Amino acid sequence: MDKMKVAYEAMLGLAAELVLDDAVLKFQTKQIHEAIDKALATGDEDTFYRLAKQLNALKR
């Protein structure tokens, strides 16, 4: 029975890690989108391209 408990706890830990990773990815993506919008509004081409590159790296 202890082996099942250890396996369950390991799976629960992995599930929690996946949820946390997804939340962090969504937060970072939102932050970058907002910064891209700001760069576009101000005409900051360099920042736009840098942020677009970061966004593409997150999607991989």
pLDDT-derived band at 2, boundaries 50, 70, 90 = confident
Query: Do 58 and 29 contact (CB within 8 A), yes or no?
Result: yes
Assess if residue 19 is contained within a domain. no
Assess if residue 12 is contained within a domain. no
Q: Phi/psi of residue 41, each to 5°?
A: -65, -35
Assess if residue 53 is contained within a domain. yes
Assess if residue 28 is contained within a domain. yes
Q: Provide, rounded to the nearest whole percent, the portion of the chain with pLDDT above 70.
A: 98
CA nearest neighbour of 54 among 21, 31, 38: 31
Mean pLDDT of 8-34: 97
Mean pLDDT of 10-37: 97
Q: Which two tokens stand for residue 20?
A: 């946390």
Assess if residue 50 is contained within a domain. yes
Assess if residue 36 is contained within a domain. yes
What pLDDT, in 10s, does the model give residues 27-41?
999 999 999 999 999
Does this model's pTM top 0.85?
A: no
Number of domains in the chain: 1
Assess if residue 44 is contained within a domain. yes
DSSP string, 19-54: HHHHHHHHHHHHHHHHHHHHHHHHT-HHHHHHHHHH
For 41, the domain range is 24-60
